[in-house]
Amino acid sequence: MALKIHGIPMSTCTARVLTCLHEKGLEFELAPVNLSVGEHKQTPFLSKNPFGQIPVLEDGDLTLFESRAITMYVSKKYKEKGEDLLRLKGDDLKEQAMVGVWVEVESQQYSPAITPIISEYFLAPMHGKTPDEKVIEAGVEKFGKVLDVYETRLCQSKYLAGDFYSLADLHHLSYTHYFMKTPWASLINSRPHVKAWWDNISSRSAFQKVSQAMTFGDKK
Ligand code: GS8
């Protein structure tokens, strides 16, 4: 039975999972969730994710939420297929540990800094609100400091966990894709190693397939 993803391609967290599925060369079914009518806050969906958020993965009788947990599961279950995103085929515990470190850094440092900028810039106007400049200013300052660490790290290795592409890099794609459409894209572009890394990972065919549908915020 094919994997089933509940979500929408424009959503960052859904896109994270879809990118992983493409990297692994897996077939899947995408079941759209109608956020505008609050489908994700109603009983059938809440039985899949009690927090009422997308994405959700169904694999037979297993139901998972949290995009990073889903990519982890997929990368482990299909370790022999497609890109080895967790370095499981080799026996190098150090490489696997470094993937673990940078998966955590994305979740604990990068994401908390970048998310408020994206939310204020793209989502506030959608809800009829003016973006809160103070939140954006604080986010930009925080994100700049995180990116300084990334610049240093990416001077040492081509990718975050080492000289190999991994789930750690993949997890950054969807939020950064939208960030690059904001007026603060220079935070990435002005750091040469971060920019080279971004150009490299965002041009992978798996993400190209997903990013085509990530049109949120595009001028009509
Ligand atoms: C966050 C899910 C999330 O924020 C994950 O899966 O990684 N930590 C979780 N989902 C958003 C869409 S992300 O673009 C969502 O469902 N928003 C609607 C809502 O919260 O009501």
Instruction: Determine the atom of ligand 1 nearest the C-alpha atom of 65.
Output: 6
Provide, rounded to the nearest whole percent, the portion of the chain with pLDDT above 90: 94
Protein residue whose Cα sits closest to atom 18 of ligand 1: 53
Protein residue whose Cα sits closest to atom 9 of ligand 1: 66
- Is 160 within 8 Å of 153 (Cβ atoms)? yes
Mean pLDDT of 85-109: 97
3-state secondary structure of 28: strand
Report in angstroms the alpha-carbon separations of 151 from 6, 107, 134, 145. 35, 18, 26, 10
20 vs 171: CA distance, rounded Å: 9
Protein residue whose Cα sits closest to atom 19 of ligand 1: 53
> pLDDT at position 51, please?
98
Instruction: Give the pLDDT band of residue 163 (cuts 50, 70, 90).
Output: very high
State whether the beta carbon of 11 lies less than 6 angstroms from ligand 1.
Answer: yes
Per-residue model confidence as pLDDT tens digits over 105-134? 999 999 999 999 999 999 998 889 999 999
Residue ranges and CATH numbers for the domains of the chain are 3-77 (3.40.30.10), 93-209 (1.20.1050.10)
* Residues 6 or more apart in contact with residue 134 via CB below 8 angstroms: none
CA of 159 to the centre of ligand 1 (A): 26
Distance of CA 128 to the CA centre of its chain: 26
